[in-house]
Amino acid sequence: MVAPAPPTEAHIWQLLEEVTDPEVPVLSILDLGIVRAVRVEGEQITVTITPTYSGCPAMNTIATDIRLRLLAEGYTKLTINNQLSPAWTTDWMTKAGREKLEAYGIAPPIDGTASGHVLNLFGKETAVRCPLCKSEHTHLVSQFGSTACKALYQCDDCREPFDYFKCHS
């Protein structure tokens, strides 16, 4: 193998753009907002990521995918750090990421609607736009969906069930 050019932080960020979320493959891990830092010291590369949800099984796969992507460029001195604080929030998801999500059929998070820190029993649910027919006439089926980060909704107009990427902040 040809010896790789010495890594630069900008180049590492470019490579990370190519690593995608294994559950939602249209999103890069940068779109998702989980890469918190990249540090290059000589040949040593440290990438710090933060979990979306503590039990998210995708995190190990993502760490392995980052490692494989950088190894493919010939970078071998790698550390992938897991950082819990500050805790991930959907505010960190990029605008491009939100558009890709909706085009993929998943309603993107609506900022400022996290019921996260208040106990709002039987409270009014967020109006979420159907990613398929764009109707705002939808209802929550379950706060817990196919993965930890999503809730299950159904459209009252086109009747399609769909995933909503929960606002988490």
Partner 1 sequence: MQGDMEFASSENPALANYAPAVRQQLFQFVLQLADTSLVLGHRLSEWCGHGPILEQDLAMANIALDLLGETRSLYQYAAELEGQGRTEDDLAYLRSATEYRNPLLVEQPNGDFADTVVRQFLFDNFHYHFLKQLLTNADERLAAIAEKSLKEATYHLKWSSEWIIRLGDGTEESRQRVEKAIAELWRFSGELTMPTALEKELQAAGLIPDYAEIQAGMAAHAEQVLAEATLAVPQQVFMLTGGKDGRHTEHLGYILTELQYMQRTFPGLTW
Interface residues toward partner 1, by CB under 8 A: 48-49, 51, 53-57, 59-60, 63-64, 67, 79-87, 115-122, 141-146, 148, 152, 168
Q: Tell me whether residue 80 or residue 100 sits nearer to partner 1 (CB atom).
A: 80
Residues in the chain: 169
Find out whether 58 and 23 touch, Cβ atoms under 8 Å.
yes
Which tokens belong to 71?
């190894």
- Of 77 and 134, nearer to partner 1 (C-beta) is 77
Q: Are 90 and 107 in contact (CB under 8 A)?
A: no
Residue whose C-alpha is closest to residue 166's, from 87, 108, 95, 105: 108
Q: Give least dist CB 2 to partner 1, A.
A: 26
What is the distance of C-alpha 122 from the center of its chain? 28
The residue among 89 and 94 lying less far from partner 1, judged by its C-beta, is 89
Shortest reach from residue 166's CB to partner 1, in Å = 9
Cβ-based nearer residue to partner 1, 57 or 74: 57
CB of 137 to partner 1, least distance (A): 20
Q: Are 106 and 165 in contact (CB under 8 A)?
A: yes
Nearer to partner 1, 46 or 100 (CB): 46
Least Cβ distance, residue 103 to partner 1 (angstroms): 25
**Which one, of 76, 44, 48, 41, lies nearest residue 62 by Cα?**
48
For residue 68, the minimal CB distance to partner 1 (Å) is: 10
Nearest to 127 by CA among 135, 119, 117, 116: 135
Residue carrying the six token digits 């710090």: 48
Compute the radius of gyration of the chain from its Cα atoms.
18
